[in-house]
Amino acid sequence: MKISFPHMGYSYLALKWLVENMGHECIVPPEPSSHTLDLGVRHAPEFACIPFKILMGTYLEVAEKGAEVILTSGGMGPCRAGLYWVMHQYLLDELHTGVKVVAFEPPLCDLKDFFKKLRWVRRTGGLSVKEFVQVLRITWEKIKAIDEVEMLSHEIRPYETNRGETTRGLWQALEMLDAANNEAEIEDAMQEGLKLLRDVSQDRSRNPLKIGIIGEIYVVLEPAANHYIQIMLGEMGVQTDRSIYLTSYTRKNTIVNLEGDVFEIAKPYLGEAPIGGHGANSIGETILYARHGFDGVVQLAPFACIPEIVAKSIIPAVSKDYGIPVLTLFIDEQTGKAGVQTRLEAFVDLLEKRREVKAKRGIERLVI
């Protein structure tokens, strides 16, 4: 079968490997472009949020290239994204694409359905259970390695002395990971990629600001949807950490992981109210970033995203209690990045000034 999936950051490299090694043909989704957006906006309901529109565009692009099946995720809870795959299926049918959308619901929501779909993908590819488990394991290793090199790139970029060197290093590292086919090769490629990034010429005397990136999962994970915000901030001399990596829940070295349960942390501001999507996460994560000494937080929200709007109206209280400035950016169809650049520059000015004032107060206290 010809299988495709949504484009989310660099994860497509691992997912491509997965599809191919399950015995299927992979139609690699292209990075969302203005063409993707045109297609999506044309066929999606006007009031749908930008992730819906970009995915719609992507699905039509891969359908054009011959995709027969699209694997995606479902979801439960009050965010409508959980139903997006159903809507996408309707629209794809209406346009006579013949594409079938297969959505994996969270296993806790419907375990039977989850395994039924998994078995279907495995059997149609002709894999034994043992082979299938092995393929999944290697894919997971690949995703982890991709996240690893990306994380390091965001750490190093603010120190680079030649603009773009880190990003080019990252691309090279990703190419090496793309070519790796087993656990040993992935490990080698990752180590080589990390070394490549560490070798970028740097000015370590800088003391970069630290900003946490939070918000709705798709616009946080897909650089093409968020104006490459982490690269933009990095080139402005800011270190960034984003709250969501596909593998962050299994990591101990990231700021947001299972250990610090974000829902528990957000509770004083939310009570039991389930605000859906990543709204509660946004509140909890703001607190986590403040506790870890970050200078500020940028919240990315699709225009008209209810969970993020609710989070946005609670965040001023969090921001005040924890003394951490938060900038909210609403993301929609605009592709011009000048507006985003202006807001980020002003936010960086604000954070730098705060650091100065804090440092001065510190010195005054020492003198007294």
**Residue 165 binding another protein, by CB under 8 A:** yes
The residue among 63 and 301 lying less far from another protein, judged by its C-beta, is: 301
Q: According to the binding rule CB under 8 A, does residue 273 interact with another protein?
A: no
The tokens for 64 are 């054009």
The only residue of 96, 313, 365, 367 in contact with another protein, by rule CB under 8 A: 313
Q: Rounded distance, CA 204 to CA 182, Å?
A: 35
The residues in 252-271 that bind another protein, with binding defined as CB under 8 A, are: none
Q: How does DSSP assign 194-234, residue by residue?
A: HHHHHTS-B-TT---EEEEEEE-HHHHH-GGGTTTHHHHHH
Residue 28 has what DSSP assignment?
Answer: P
Output the smallest distance, CB 255 to another protein, in A.
23
Question: Is residue 332 within the footprint of another protein (CB under 8 A)?
Answer: yes
> Contact, 329 vs 298, CB < 8 A?
yes
Q: How far apart are the first and last CA of the chain?
A: 74
Alpha-carbon 356 to chain mean position: 32
The minimum distance between CB 342 and another protein, in angstroms, equals 5
Tokens 């596909």, located at residue: 246
Applying CB under 8 A, the span of 67-75, 209-217, 242-250, 333-341 interacting with another protein comes to: 333-341
Each residue 22-41 as x (binds another protein by CB under 8 A) or -, in order, gives ---------x----------
If the CB atoms of residues 48 and 92 are measured against another protein, the closer one turns out to be: 48
Four-point Cα dihedral 196, 198, 202, 204, nearest 10: 180
Is 116 one of the binding residues for another protein (CB under 8 A)?
no
Toward another protein, which CB reaches closer, 112 or 320? 320
- Of residues 91 and 287, the one with the C-beta less far from another protein: 287
Please state the length of the chain.
368
Residue 50 CB, shortest distance to another protein, in Å, is 10
Q: Which of 97, 124, 134, 167 binds another protein (CB under 8 A)?
A: 167
CB of 282 to another protein, least distance (A): 14
- The smaller minimum CB distance to another protein, of residues 125 and 223, is found at 223
Is 346 an interacting residue with respect to another protein (CB under 8 A)?
yes
Rg of the chain, C-alpha, whole Å: 21
Amino acid letter at 16?
A: K
312 part of the interface to another protein, by CB under 8 A: yes
Q: Which is nearer to another protein, 140 or 303 (CB)?
A: 303
Cβ closer to another protein: 79 or 314? 314
CA distances 177 to 27, 186, 189, 219, 265, Å, are: 19, 6, 5, 24, 36
Strand order in the sheet with 69-73: 25-26, 2-4, 69-73, 100-104
Two structure tokens written together for 261: 């349960």
| Helices 50-64 and 84-94: angle between axes, nearest 10 degrees | 40
Q: How far apart are CA 312 and CA 306, in angstroms?
A: 10
Residues in contact with another protein by CB under 8 A are 31, 162-165, 167-168, 171, 228, 231, 303, 312-313, 315-316, 325, 328-330, 332, 334, 338-339, 341-343, 345-347, 349-350, 353-354, 357
